[in-house]
Structure 1
Amino acid sequence: MNAPLTADTGAFRVHGFPVLGDELGVGGVPLSRLAARVGRTPFYAYDRGLLSERVAALRAHLPAAVHLSYAVKANPMPAVVQHLARLVDGCDVASAGELATVLDTGMDPGRVSFAGPGKKSDELAQAVAAGVTINVESPAELEEIARHGDRLGITPRVAVRVNPDFELRGSGMRMGGGAKQFGVDAEAVPALLARIGALDLTFVGFHCYWGSQALRPALIREAQEKSVELILRLTDDAPGAPEMVNLGGGFGIPYHDKDTPLPLAEVGEGMAGAVERLTTALPDARPGIELGRYLVGEAGVYVCRVVDRKVSRGQVFLVTDGGLHHHLAATGNFGQVLRRNYPVAIGTRMTGNGIETQSVVGCLCTPLDLLADRVELPRADVGDLVVIFQSGAYGATASPAGFLGHGGPAEVLV
């Protein structure tokens, strides 16, 4: 993940971020200077240049026909959403709050979709009024959407989120196949399509999401091919030709030493066949994918400050002002999963000597507040800044900021 930045200066990148002198740089700004600008630690920092680079890489390697949508749940910071809204083809939201954030960017509501189980009645009303596409998760939700349309005098736009009749092993989180709270079981979709045709609704298409955090191109290819096969079969019962077919997403990023970065060119090559089959059979349908983590995850860092350095029976602990209340995933989700270290660095000593084994902990009174366990780092002292990489997705908003009352982190887009 480390690569030369420029041949003439000898500068280099660490997980995509440049090293400027002895410090990590975010958005071209040395870390200590950025911390001074923010005015406090801890904070999350997102690099707009890396966000743009990731979208450009997807455009370069994926089939040109593919509609690229940003899953806002991965990082709903308004500035991040505003930046990405200018680069992607659409956004997918999972709440009225996320919907408001996207609409504030000025994005055409026709390019916005609303997915997720348990949508509240007032959220559905807002989505119908805004004119976004609602991905239907159940027959009851469909009826509620239709009622809001009648009340508002608006014809709602709906797509069917399909719980596929296949399950693929190898993704980090399987969200399709078997019994799931997500979507409508594939075998129940024809009846739902018939009901859509009977109601005053505009049928937009299908959304087939099978899983997330996949790092194997063959797995992604298989999922997309099976999704196309399923959707073509279901289209026979549709009340009209679909305008949009969302093939899911699932592209993963490497969090740990044994993870291999996703070879995007290979993914694009594997995707070409599924897209060609879909567009040949449904020439008016727009094939799409929905990505969140893959767009923003590697473009963000979490930064906290060492407030104490202590040694306990020979083990060095760097005690910071951060912790699991800000970055739950990096600490292992309250101990409920097998914990492995995220990439970590002393951001103010990137080229320092004196490497030693140190553990980075937070300020909470629980042994689960462990940001990095026995890692080899330059010797750090009070005042140094610790950086946790791969922190652009499911960080601040996916963590219990109210735990122990320390308050939430700052967030900046640089």
Structure 2
Amino acid sequence: MSIFESYKAPQGVLEIGGLPLPRLAERAGQTPFFVYDRSKLGERVALLRQMLAPELRIHYSIKANPMPALVQHMASLVDGFDVASAGEMRMALDAGMPARHVSMAGPGKSSQDLRGAVGAGVTVTLESAHQLEAVERIGRELGVRPRVGLRINPDFQPRSSGMRMGGGPRQFGVDVEQAPALLKVIAERDLDFVGFHVFWGSQCLDPGTVIAAQRHVAELVMRLADLAGDSLEFVNMGGGFGIPYFDNERPLDIGAVGAAMQEWLTPLRRRLAGTRLILEFGRYLVGEAGLYVCRVLDKKVSRGETFLITDGGLHHQLAASGNFGQVLRRNYPVAIGNRMDSGQTETCHVVGCLCTPLDRLADNVVLPAAEIGDLFVVAQSGAYGRSASPSAFLSHPLPVEILV
């Protein structure tokens, strides 16, 4: 089934949150805009709670989409937030999430980031010996005992992952071989050590890879737990779950992942009774709940090929243009949102308004024959969209964001 089928209204236009797309454009007051569907956010969290072990806590990684209204809504659905800056931390706390359920990760935390986290009581996930020293110093200056965790760069690599963030030399975390020495230093300092964070990768659609990675993480954490002293408050086992973007991709089989969990959960429960076990998700929670909408400004033929020129582009949706780390550019799911039932189609290229040939939103795609003024839609746009794109390029206005 097409990704757009769940949004298609009887009159042949996309409908989100009970509003047809042209009405949404009026509500936004402009194109381009992003629209996020709160019902799909709730459905995704509910799916995880249904299919995974009930004791697993779900955290949302704000970097995936930091829209304030969306973060506020996610606070009512998940058990905690993971942040990567003081700005994201303030957003998490403003949404009402208790500080003890917020953790700050990142290889390059500034002194302002660290001072804000320590002062607020947020857990600082240490990723180097230097961060350890800086956090201890800030704790002394503020007269508080910092809450700290340790992010581990594991000694395994997933065989199939969209982005590998663990195993081998990495800027993320502390190599597991170095962890025993750092844990000893932490124990000697005035620091409140509360847990481990192991993040092995992201955007994985292969259930076998996810299952193997979770088993490896559980085994790794049980080895380190013997060195951590007191009982651990939490273990963040990462996430890694991906969403399908392209025609040849299929959704991750959550049922298979959930069914295999008892293999590693049983010994982990026995070894770490009372420890909160966390899975951290960003893209998997919000990516499929968002659409990017722009308007066709012009239509022209160049040497026999049709181009739709829109008021959007890579300055808002960098990933859809193929410039967000993809090796080969492939089309995201796209549609002409106000012509879903049109029988007449055409093969075309859809481009943005920027002065660069990199600004392509779809290549050689078959779409309903479009006219100037029609609404072009990019699905799977709920994660790493506006906040992950070079919005200052050419000084065009920022896109509006709507949560419906």
TM-score over 0.5 for the alignment? Answer: yes
The answer to whether the Cα contact below 8 Å between 1:335 and 1:368 also exists between their aligned partners in 2 is no
Are 2:235 and 1:218 equivalent residues in the alignment? no
Partner SS, residue 204 of structure 1: strand
| Aligned residue number for residue 151 of structure 2 | 161
Are 2:344 and 1:354 equivalent residues in the alignment? yes
Q: 1:247 aligns with which of 237, 250, 259?
A: 237
| Aligned residue number for residue 12 of structure 2 | 22
Deviation by residue 1:338-369 (Cα, 9 ceiling, x = unmatched): 10000000000011110111111000111111
Deviation by residue 1:70-127 (Cα, 9 ceiling, x = unmatched): 0000000001100001100000000011001111111111110100111001110110
Are 2:91 and 1:101 equivalent residues in the alignment? yes
| Aligned residue number for residue 113 of structure 1 | 103
Are 2:36 and 1:67 equivalent residues in the alignment? no
Are 2:45 and 1:48 equivalent residues in the alignment? no
The answer to whether the Cα contact below 8 Å between 2:64 and 2:282 also exists between their aligned partners in 1 is yes
| Aligned residue number for residue 307 of structure 1 | 297
Are 2:47 and 1:57 equivalent residues in the alignment? yes
State the distance in 2 between where 1:302 and 1:321 align.
12
Question: Alpha carbons of 1:215 and 1:160: their partners in 2 closer, same or farther (altered >3 Å)?
Answer: same
Partner SS, residue 305 of structure 1: strand
Partner SS, residue 187 of structure 1: coil
The answer to whether the Cα contact below 8 Å between 2:317 and 2:385 also exists between their aligned partners in 1 is yes
**Structure 2: 5+ residue stretches without partners:** none
State the distance in 2 between where 1:156 and 1:334 align.
36
TM-aligned CA deviation for residue 16 of structure 1: 4.0
Deviation by residue 1:39-60 (Cα, 9 ceiling, x = unmatched): 1000010001110110111111
State the distance in 2 between where 1:343 and 1:393 align.
14
TM-aligned CA deviation for residue 410 of structure 1: 0.9
The answer to whether the Cα contact below 8 Å between 2:155 and 2:176 also exists between their aligned partners in 1 is yes
| Aligned residue number for residue 288 of structure 2 | 298
| Aligned residue number for residue 285 of structure 1 | 275
State the distance in 2 between where 1:163 and 1:222 align.
16
Aligned residue type for 1:312: S
TM-aligned CA deviation for residue 20 of structure 1: 4.3
State the distance in 2 between where 1:298 and 1:327 align.
14
Are 2:375 and 1:385 equivalent residues in the alignment? yes
State the distance in 2 between where 1:303 and 1:47 align.
14
Are 2:234 and 1:228 equivalent residues in the alignment? no
Q: Aligned-residue CA RMSD in angstroms?
A: 1.2
The answer to whether the Cα contact below 8 Å between 1:15 and 1:298 also exists between their aligned partners in 2 is no
Aligned residue type for 1:316: T
The answer to whether the Cα contact below 8 Å between 1:279 and 1:287 also exists between their aligned partners in 2 is no
Are 2:321 and 1:331 equivalent residues in the alignment? yes
Alignment of 1:392-407 (within 5 A): 392-407=382-397
Question: Alpha carbons of 1:290 and 1:380: their partners in 2 closer, same or farther (altered >3 Å)?
Answer: same
Question: Alpha carbons of 1:335 and 1:278: their partners in 2 closer, same or farther (altered >3 Å)?
Answer: closer
Deviation by residue 1:221-270 (Cα, 9 ceiling, x = unmatched): 10010011011111111132111011110000000001111111112112
TM-aligned CA deviation for residue 314 of structure 1: 1.4
The answer to whether the Cα contact below 8 Å between 2:8 and 2:340 also exists between their aligned partners in 1 is no
TM-aligned CA deviation for residue 271 of structure 1: 2.4
Aligned residue type for 1:261: P
* TM-score (norm: length of structure 1): 0.96
State the distance in 2 between where 1:354 and 1:335 align.
35
State the distance in 1 between where 2:229 and 2:6 align.
47
The answer to whether the Cα contact below 8 Å between 2:32 and 2:294 also exists between their aligned partners in 1 is yes
| Aligned residue number for residue 6 of structure 1 | none
State the distance in 2 between where 1:267 and 1:355 align.
40
TM-aligned CA deviation for residue 17 of structure 1: 2.6
Partner SS, residue 14 of structure 1: helix
TM-aligned CA deviation for residue 129 of structure 1: 0.7
| Aligned residue number for residue 125 of structure 2 | 135
State the distance in 1 between where 2:5 and 2:289 align.
9
Aligned residue type for 2:391: A
Identity %: 58
TM-aligned CA deviation for residue 334 of structure 1: 7.0
Are 2:364 and 1:374 equivalent residues in the alignment? yes
The answer to whether the Cα contact below 8 Å between 1:18 and 1:28 also exists between their aligned partners in 2 is no
State the distance in 1 between where 2:262 and 2:344 align.
49
TM-aligned CA deviation for residue 407 of structure 1: 2.6
- Residue-pair matches, total: 404
Question: Alpha carbons of 1:137 and 1:335: their partners in 2 closer, same or farther (altered >3 Å)?
Answer: closer
| Aligned residue number for residue 183 of structure 2 | 193
Aligned residue type for 1:23: V
Partner SS, residue 23 of structure 1: coil
The answer to whether the Cα contact below 8 Å between 1:43 and 1:304 also exists between their aligned partners in 2 is yes
